[in-house]
Structure formats: structure tokens, C-alpha cells
Amino acid sequence: MTRRTMCQCCTVAVVLCLATSGCGDDRTSGGGSGAPATTGPLSGRVSVDGSSTVLPVSKAMGEAFQKAHPAVQVSVQSSGTGGGFRKFCAGETDITGASRPINAAESRRCQEKQIDFIELPVAFDSLSVVVNSRNSFASCLTVAELKKMWEPAAEGAVTRWSQIRPSFPDQPLSLFGPGTDSGTFDYFTLAIVGAESKSRSDYTNSEDDNVLVSGIEADPNALGYFGFAYYAANKDKLRLVAIDSGRGCVVPSAQTVENNTYQPLARPMFIYVNTSSSARPEAHAFARFYLDPGNTRYVREIGYMPLSPATLTNVAQRLEGSVIGSMFGGRGSVIGITADTFQDEDRIKNALVQ
């Protein structure tokens, strides 16, 4: 295995070099194509864990893959992005989903356990802020208002809706959100509060987004956040809040992610594949199935925005070539990665220096 020492002339979605003198943490296996030889029908088991945001996509992909390959069992669980990486870096799973890139500490944990991985972006989410369906006043919130709700200084101090905006009713503010193992928690705190993992702690938290949905549905004073798929599956129970980042109120959707107007809560989603697992035909085939442009309908049906066919084709070359390591150099949550960022090397570099 050799570390890359210079940027190669290839599409940004394949390598995404991170600096003018090198390609960050991106490495290659040095062994040519990573595609295992296959003979006859596929069989075996593929274990998937990780992000609750990625979970609905992994479930849909797993069910479709099993229909095509009945002798393969795809087991899909969710421990959150952080929890999923702990299992993955211990060699307990073949693939882990993540709603942010792997961070430096997680990369070190994998390295210590001699777990090499292939990082594959698969889609974009419009991370969604929602309120109870009976809330008729919080139709749009500014980033500054969300920060006022969620920053550490708000703990025990900002407890009523009227403190967020004087025109809001003087009613209790009940907050629901992911736990600290969640990549959604990491991303939201960086995007809204300004520092990853910095948040008030006096809110109802869970790694299970369905628990958050139930809590917000039951409390007329509630507000919470999670991946768009969980709103899409519960439209009759919850109400979306538009976000104003300085250019007017924008509602989350695949379209507003694609045109880059839903900021700063649009974010990429990933799967990470253990290279040892990828050497097994059934695990490699499932990862390749995930990246097939013909399967983007599963992503859209759930409510996320697929990567373009051209980008997915390039991303698949990371899998086929066993391109090891992260494109993001251990940065973890990164703000400013938009759908078109993956099309241009300079844009990814600019996003990483923010």
C-alpha cells in the first residue's frame, strides 16, 4: 500500500485532491482493480450499520439487492454515524453509512485496527427543521434564530418561543434532536452554532429519528431537526420550517439542494466500505449496486437528492480501483459542500479551507 504523493489527473469525484502538493489522506491500494472475480450466483452476508439519515437508503438498496440476489442476506442497522464508525473500525461491519465524512480520530481508530476503507459519496440530504403540525407561527426561521435556540449559552436560559422572536407566543420551547453519536448532530451544530458538537444539552435527544418524530408529533410547542427522509415519511404529522440564511426563506427539498439555495443545511451522505469486505464478491456487488445510476430512484423516493449519473460513475471508480482513505483529510463535518462541488477540484479545495 502506498500513499499518494502527487495529485493525479483524474475527475474530482474520483480522487478530489486536497492540496496543491498532495492528495490529503487519499491513498491507493497499489493493487489495480479492487473488483473480485465472481463465478456463479452470489451468496453470503453483507452487514451495514451507521447513520440514521443514510439508513432508509441502505434499507431500500438492501431490499432491492436481495431480490436480485436471493442467496445474499443484507443486514442493515443504525447506530448513528459515530457509533457506526466505532463498529466499522473494529471490523464488525462491512459497510457503514455516514452523514458526514470520517474524522481524524475515527480514521486513526481504523488505522490502529488495520481497517482500510473506501469512501463513497452517494447522495445529498436537505437536513430539515420541523415543528408540530399545530404550530402556525414558526413557518420560517433565520440561522441566527436557530443559533439562539441551540447554542450552549441557551441552556436553561432560552426556554420560551417569545424569546426567539417577540411576535411568537409566550409558550414553552420544547427541543428535540439527535444524540452526540449522530453525524446530523455534528453537522447541525457546525452549520448553525458555528462549532461542531457545541450545543445546549437540555433537549430531548435520541439516535433513533423515529423517536424524535413521535416526540415532536405529541408536543405542540416542539421543534426538532433530522434528515429530510424522516419528514417525508411523516408529512401528515409534522410541519417543515423554511430556513433564511440571508437570501430569504427556503424550504428543504431535493430541488433546493440541487440549485444550492438551501443553505447551510444541505450536506452529502456517504457509505464507507471495508477493503477486506470489498474483496468478497457479494459485498463488492452490493456497494456497486448502491452506486448504479439506475438505482437512484430509491434515493429520490426516500426524499434525498441523488448524485448525477456522471458523478456516480466516477465515484464507482473509487470502488473498482480500491482508492483508500478520505477525500476530506479528517475534517469530519464540512460546510459548503454542495451538489456541484463534486464537479470541480477547486470548489472542493475552497470548501475545505472554510
- What DSSP line would sit under 122-155, residue for residue? EEEEE-EEEEETT--S-SEEEHHHHHHHHSGGGT
- Residue 320: is its pLDDT beyond 80? yes
First-to-last CA distance in the chain? 31
| Continuous H helices in 151-204 | 183-188
pLDDT at 336: 79
> Cβ–Cβ contacts within 10 Å for residue 277, how many?
22
Domains by residue range for the chain, with CATH? 2-124+269-352 (3.40.190.10), 128-251 (3.40.190.10)
Cβ contact 314:14 at 8 Å:
yes
Cα–Cα dist 183/85, whole Å: 10
| H/E run at residue 210 | helix 209-218
Supply the pLDDT for residue 229: 96
Query: What is the torsional sign of CA 49, 53, 55, 60?
Result: negative
What confidence tens digit (pLDDT) does each residue in 89-113 have?
Answer: 999 999 999 999 999 999 999 999 9
**C-beta of residue 131 within 8 angstroms of C-beta of residue 241:** yes
Residue 9 pLDDT greater than 60, yes or no: no
Q: What is the mean pLDDT of the chain?
A: 88
Q: Which of 202, 133, 145, 154 is nearest to 174 (CA)?
A: 202
337 falls in which pLDDT band (50, 70, 90)? confident
Cα separation, 37 vs 281, whole angstroms: 7
- What's the pLDDT at 5? 28
Give the pLDDT confidence of 241-259 residue by residue, as tens digits: 999 999 999 999 999 998 9
**What does the pLDDT read at residue 26?**
57
**Cβ count within 10 A of residue 117:** 26
DSSP 338: -
Order the strands of the 204-205 sheet from edge to edge.
Answer: 204-205, 174-177, 222-226, 128-132, 238-240
Instruction: Identify the residue with better confidence: 318 or 8.
Output: 318
Residue 217: closest CA among 235, 203, 241: 235
The 10s digit of each residue's pLDDT in 247-295 is 999 999 999 998 989 999 999 999 999 999 999 999 999 999 999 999 9
pLDDT tens digits, residue range 13-32?
A: 333 333 222 334 555 544 34
